[in-house]
Amino acid sequence: MVIEQNPHPLDPLSVEEFHAVASIVRKARENENTKYIFSSVVLKEPPKKQVLAYLQDINSSVLNPPDREALVILIDRPSGVVNEIIVSLTQGSITKWEKLQGVQPTQHPEEMLEAEQIMIKDEKVVKECHELGITDMSAVYVDPWAVGYYYANPKEPKQDKRRIMQGLMYYRTSEDDNQYAHPLDFTVIFDVNAQEVIEIVRSKPRNSKYERATIPMTNHHFLPEHLGQGKLRTDIKPIEITQPEGVSFTVKNNHILEWQKWHMHIGFNYREGVIISNVTYQDGDEKRPLFYRMSLSEMVVPYANPYEPYNHKMAFDVGEYGLGNMTNSLELGCDCVGNIYYMDGVISNLKGEPSVINNAICIHEEDVGLLFKHTDYRTGKAHSVRSRRLVVSNIITAANYDYGLYYYFYQDGSFQYEIKATGELNTHVLAEDEDPTPYGSIVAPQVVGQHHQHLFMMRIDPMIDGPNNSVMQVDVIPASYPVGHADNPVGNAFMPTNQIYNTTDEAQVRSNAETSRFWQIVNESKLHPYTKKPVGYKLSSLNTPPMLPKPGSIVTERAQFATKTIWVTPYEDGQLYPGGFYCSQSEPGIGLPEWTKEVKSIRDTDVVLWLTFGLTHLPRVEDFPVMPVETCGFHMKPSGFFLGNPGIDIPPSKKKISKKSRTLKATNAEKDGCHCA
């Protein structure tokens, strides 16, 4: 069901608002001769206090909504000057304009496509390809990446202030061939604003008799049209997912989502992609707040190869490219299955005009097995309730990699975030006698899958029963009493130890599997009537690898946020991105390290929790030519929040068994009153 109502202050900019913003900015620059591009246009979210005050008064007869504002980032060409502009849509004018130098906004997809075409036509690139035996440059493809780091003067290790991409080079034997089966042995360093190639960096074979690696020309296809119908499985029977009475959720104004007892706002922007805000849960007559805002705020993919040109590879996909910019248009039956409600996403093109991503966000329900069950072993009577979850998802493509990003909401008040990493490995070429170990794995002859990590950071702005929260670390340890002690006579005792973080320096910690460490976000002013302890939500993850590049390395210094599993900071408007707003070609120390340099109180106040989770990926042959899904994520569960299992009110329903599968035993069970829901 879809219901229209008044706009929410966190609604993304509409298509009409994109047009209005671009028009205001262009008019302000109409007398200039400067060439420029729109790097991004996005809603400038109102201060949190204003949003909460507005939502509190939403049913009032007199509403004073916060001003509607847009943040616009322009890049002047060829100077590279960055223009940070705030446009008030309420006033129809520019309210702030700041010019910055030496910073790099996200790489726009159109910039990358533009760069690829220029690189392919460059004389130096053509010469390199000719030396490899390539005469048809239409078969050459470039994956433009942010450069990671680039020193104009190798003797002076400072980031070049030009806007630079590195072009990773590949060959295709046909238009839709798998290019990662044919990597070339050089990287192109490209000045984006000047639109020119700076230099070519060639990979040198190591411990090899060859001066240069040849192109591996064997095709490794995965598309069915290349494999041929005769090689596809024929023993798969259909699975159909139906909801004959429709879905159980309601969408209001295209962004307010209600399901079961959950209520939330769904947003979208070029950088974070999907944003979940104003999350509440209906507990009896009380609508209890849980989270103000949640989003995937940054990630880093450090690669292990220490040699040129591969040591420039360190992808910050959120800050350098933007999850929204890379979001797919989803297809029913392929990316999402069932009764689907889609939301579009809107980003800007280089001219500032809206570019609509149709079906950017998928919303649907899934059956996920048991929620709970118990069988009375004396009587044989069983009661089972099946678990259903609400899924809010989008899928992005970051050049070779694809990531499915899933928010799951469950009927027992719990929440899960999951990332499904798939797509293709970013490969490089080997000489015929070259061994890639210890920094990579051979996935096909002369083709290397480079060892790397995927480290994601979730920004969680909690409101557990109110705006002031604390974060508590819980470690489970053996009792300190020796075996035979009066309080541990047979030695089996173990117990949790709790530490509530008081300051920001205390709240920079790593996970600890040995103590089954988890965290609780608690409201110390709200005590549970049974436990007499603060109500809270438990946060846990089984996917918390340490960042493996050494302290002092370029990638570690740029991605200091990923060196800890948990950070907690006091809430500040505008502190959204742990690697800094201008993340591309960044210098060390911006973002979270900067915000926590001064020790601040974080107890019983408005806080933000930052969680690092992810994967360490040593590629397998089976990850090629396309990678089966690898998953990681985290869970949040009510812990001393409700008065019991909030899912016990899910009504049971009698088993429904098809005639084909009906058996005497099943029929008897049905007669005995076995329930499932």
Active site residues: 317, 401
Nearest-CA neighbor of 436 among 576, 329, 304?
A: 304
Helix (H, G, I), strand (E, B) or coil at 653: strand
Contact 338, 315 (CB under 8 A): no
- How many other CB atoms sit within 10 Å of the CB of residue 386? 17
Helix (H, G, I), strand (E, B) or coil at 623: helix
Contact 160, 192 (CB under 8 A): no
Q: Quote the CA–CA distance of 170 and 176 in Å, as a whole number.
A: 13
> What is the greatest pairwise CA distance in the chain?
87
Q: Quote the CA–CA distance of 223 and 225 in Å, as a whole number.
A: 6
- How many other CB atoms sit within 10 Å of the CB of residue 253? 14
CA end-to-end distance (rounded Å), the chain: 23
Contact 521, 537 (CB under 8 A): yes
For residue 7, say if its preceding peptide bond is cis, omega within 30 degrees of 0: no
The beta-carbon contacts of 526-529 under 8 Å, at least 24 apart in sequence, are 526/465, 526/466, 528/640, 528/641, 529/643
Can you read off the two tokens belonging to residue 59? 């049913």
Residue type, 192: V
Identify the helix (H) or strand (E) that includes residue 51.
helix 48-56
Can you read off the two tokens belonging to residue 512? 């600890």
Q: Quote the CA–CA distance of 98 and 86 in Å, as a whole number.
A: 9
Nearest-CA neighbor of 84 among 96, 67, 93, 68?
A: 96
Helix (H, G, I), strand (E, B) or coil at 616: strand
Nearest-CA neighbor of 336 among 376, 375, 374, 363?
A: 363
Q: What b-and-e string marks burial along 294-332, b requiring 16 or more CB atoms within 10 Å of the CB?
A: bbbbbbbbbbbbeeebbbbbbbbbbbbbbbbbbbbebee
Q: What b-and-e string marks burial along 153-186, b requiring 16 or more CB atoms within 10 Å of the CB?
A: eeeeeebbebbbbbbbbbbbeeeebbbbbbbbbb
Nearest-CA neighbor of 394 among 368, 430, 372, 418?
A: 418
> CA-CA distances (angstroms) from residue 490 to 54, 477, 487, 493, 514?
59, 16, 9, 8, 22
Q: Quote the CA–CA distance of 276 and 325 in Å, as a whole number.
A: 18
Identify the helix (H) or strand (E) that includes residue 48.
helix 48-56
What count of residues does the chain have? 677
Q: Is the dihedral of CA 465, 470, 474, 480 positive or negative?
A: negative
Can you read off the two tokens belonging to residue 641? 């929040």
Find all residues with CB under 8 Å of 151, minimum gap 6, and list them.
157, 158, 159, 160
